[in-house]
């Protein structure tokens, strides 16, 4: 890995971050006249800018130091911050895989970063050799990998190779890791200072509405995230919802088991549907299917009020289907079994 300071944008390295009213004192206050809040109400106070309680809880669960944890307004914020911390607009470039999560592209475009897209092979795996030329490009700062990948559903096999050999920062997006029977790359943080792992409470923890994403990385990288984030980027309501969900994680474990059972059942029925040509193996809470007439099937389901994700333009002939409740899945299956083009 190149030195961290050579990978960070110079203006971020030298940035004096905003110092919020609540982070400037230590000790116990009882009269708060520092932040121009309304003294009345329930939600009248700014939230903890550093989300200490939430980080403590995550630290216990993940066995990682709280100083190696950043909480974002969804993992979409983590992705955006990675571009903003490491890539100079109009100068630096980043790399990702295709097909993958659309926000890597959108966020790069917003930040005026040239995003190089490496196509996955026919098994939706990455050939790590394709990254090697970029190790000689000192403007290549960031590589974004998604595992399990959206929309293909599979874990990437050779991330180890990549994090061992890539000279820049590697962001591994593990939004769907809770549904995969594999260890998180959080395990590798201690030995790989170029690694950032992002996870989310939007999927297995059922908190998409609350917008809570997490980045795990070295303390040095987390300090950079803290410098750049808006001071109160995670609301008190969201912090509280996240804390409750994490404390009740047995409940989410049960939901996850049900979703995994349903994933298997839905896949087995789908493969026998006349229109379905292939059901791709999934390590996530969705299935990618190849069908005869993707646009037509998508529209047919839409007319029945069943919304799926048409991925035909990304992967010809493919639709991505999220695993729902057993009743919702039955509705979907009944509809697809009756479809023919
Ligand atoms: C791969 C991937 N990363 C990140 C996200 C965004 O997650 P969040 O809700 O935490 O912003 C999604 C959402 O669909 C996703 O599929």
Phi, psi of 140 (to 5 degrees): -85, 110
Q: Give dist(CA 56, CA 243) in Å, integer.
A: 10
Q: Give yes or no for residue 102 CB within 6 A of ligand 1.
A: no
Give 3 Cα–ligand 1 centroid separation in angstroms. 29
Q: What does the pLDDT read at residue 329?
A: 98
Region 313-323: what's the mean pLDDT? Answer: 98
Q: What does the pLDDT read at residue 334?
A: 98
Give 319 Cα–ligand 1 centroid separation in angstroms. 18
* Site to substitute for ligand 1 among 102, 175, 204, 282, most atoms within 8 A of C-beta: 175
Give 105 Cα–ligand 1 centroid separation in angstroms. 13
Give the 3-state secondary structure of residue 244. Answer: helix
Output the six-digit token pair for 230: 């808006």
Omega within 30 of 0 (cis) for the link into 319: no
Q: Give yes or no for residue 173 CB within 6 A of ligand 1.
A: yes
Q: Give yes or no for residue 150 CB within 6 A of ligand 1.
A: yes
Q: What is the per-residue DSSP string for 79-94?
A: HHHHHHHH--TTT-EE
Of all protein residues, whose CA lies closest to atom 13 belonging to ligand 1?
A: 175
Q: Give yes or no for residue 174 CB within 6 A of ligand 1.
A: no
Q: Give yes or no for residue 200 CB within 6 A of ligand 1.
A: yes
Within the chain, all domains assigned CATH 3.40.640.10 are found at 4-247
pLDDT digits (tens, 9 = 90+) for 172-202: 999 999 999 899 999 999 999 999 999 999 9
For the chain, how far is it from start to end, CA to CA, in angstroms?
A: 52
Region 330-336: what's the mean pLDDT? Answer: 98
Burial bucket for residue 225 (CB in 10 Å: 0-12, 13-18, 19+)? buried
Output the six-digit token pair for 50: 């550093």
pLDDT digits (tens, 9 = 90+) for 53-74: 999 999 999 999 999 999 999 9
The answer to whether 71 touches 241, Cβ cutoff 8 Å, is no
pLDDT exceeding 90 applies to what percent of the chain? 96
Q: What does the pLDDT read at residue 25?
A: 82
pLDDT digits (tens, 9 = 90+) for 8-58: 999 999 999 998 887 788 888 899 999 999 999 999 999 999 999 999 999
Q: Give yes or no for residue 107 CB within 6 A of ligand 1.
A: no
Give the 3-state secondary structure of residue 145. Answer: strand
Q: Model-level pTM?
A: 0.97
Region 133-142: what's the mean pLDDT? Answer: 95
Of all protein residues, whose CA lies closest to atom 11 belonging to ligand 1?
A: 74
Q: Give dist(CA 215, CA 55) in Å, integer.
A: 11
* CA geometry: angle 113, 118, 121, nearest 5 deg: 160
Q: Are strands 213-216 and 69-72 parallel, antiparallel or unpaired?
A: antiparallel
Q: What does the pLDDT read at residue 114?
A: 98
Region 135-160: what's the mean pLDDT? Answer: 97
Let me know if domain 250-337 sits in CATH 3.90.1150.10. yes
The answer to whether 31 touches 45, Cβ cutoff 8 Å, is no
Within the chain, all domains assigned CATH 3.90.1150.10 are found at 250-337
Region 278-302: what's the mean pLDDT? Answer: 98
The number of angstroms, rounded, from the C-alpha of 17 to the middle of its chain's C-alpha atoms is 25
* CA geometry: angle 300, 282, 163, nearest 5 deg: 130
Q: Provide the 10 A C-beta neighbour count for residue 58.
A: 23
Look over the chain and give the mean of its residue pLDDT values, rounded to a whole number: 97
Q: Detail the DSSP E strand segments found in 201-282.
A: 213-216, 276-279
Give 199 Cα–ligand 1 centroid separation in angstroms. 8
Ligand 1 atom closest to the Cα of residue 100 is: 1
pLDDT digits (tens, 9 = 90+) for 229-248: 999 999 999 999 999 999 99
Q: What does the pLDDT read at residue 14?
A: 97
pLDDT digits (tens, 9 = 90+) for 64-120: 999 999 999 999 999 999 999 999 999 999 999 999 999 999 999 999 999 999 999
Q: Give yes or no for residue 213 CB within 6 A of ligand 1.
A: yes
The answer to whether 296 touches 340, Cβ cutoff 8 Å, is no
Let me know if domain 4-247 sits in CATH 3.10.310.30. no
């Amino acid at each position: 890995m190149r030195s961290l300071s050579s990978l960070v944008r110079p203006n971020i390295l030298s940035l004096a971050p905003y110092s919020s009213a609540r982070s400037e004192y230590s000790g116990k206050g009882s009269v708060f006249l520092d932040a121009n809040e309304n003294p009345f109400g329930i939600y009248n106070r700014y939230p903890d800018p550093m989300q200490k309680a939430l980080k403590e809880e995550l630290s216990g669960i993940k066995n990682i130091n709280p100083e190696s944890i950043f909480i974002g307004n969804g993992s979409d914020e983590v992705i955006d911050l990675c571009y903003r911390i490491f890539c100079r607009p109009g100068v630096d470039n980043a790399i990702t895989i295709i097909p993958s999560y659309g926000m890597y592209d959108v966020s790069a475009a917003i930040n005026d970063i040239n995003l190089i897209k490496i196509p996955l092979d026919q098994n939706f795996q990455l050939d790590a050799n394709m990254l090697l030329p970029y190790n000689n490009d000192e403007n290549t700062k960031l590589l974004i990998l998604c595992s399990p990948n959206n929309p293909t559903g599979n874990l990437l096999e050779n991330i180890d190779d990549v994090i061992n050999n890539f000279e820049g920062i590697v962001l591994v997006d593990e939004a769907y890791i809770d549904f995969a029977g594999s260890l998180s790359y959080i395990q590798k943080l201690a030995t790989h200072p170029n690694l950032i792992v992002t996870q989310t409470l939007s999927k297995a923890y059922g908190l998409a509405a609350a917008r809570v994403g997490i980045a795990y990385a070295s303390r040095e990288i987390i300090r950079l995230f803290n410098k750049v984030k808006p001071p109160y980027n995670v609301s008190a309501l969201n912090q509280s919802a996240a804390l409750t969900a994490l404390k009740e994680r047995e409940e989410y474990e049960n939901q996850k088991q049900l979703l995994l059972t349903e994933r298997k059942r839905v896949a087995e029925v789908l493969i026998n549907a006349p229109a379905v040509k292939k059901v791709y193996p999934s390590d996530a809470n969705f299935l990618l299917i190849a069908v005869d007439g993707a646009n037509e099937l998508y529209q047919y389901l839409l007319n029945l009020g069943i919304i799926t994700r048409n991925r035909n333009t990304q992967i010809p002939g493919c639709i991505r289907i999220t695993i729902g409740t057993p009743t919702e899945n039955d509705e979907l299956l009944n509809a697809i079994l009756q479809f023919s083009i």
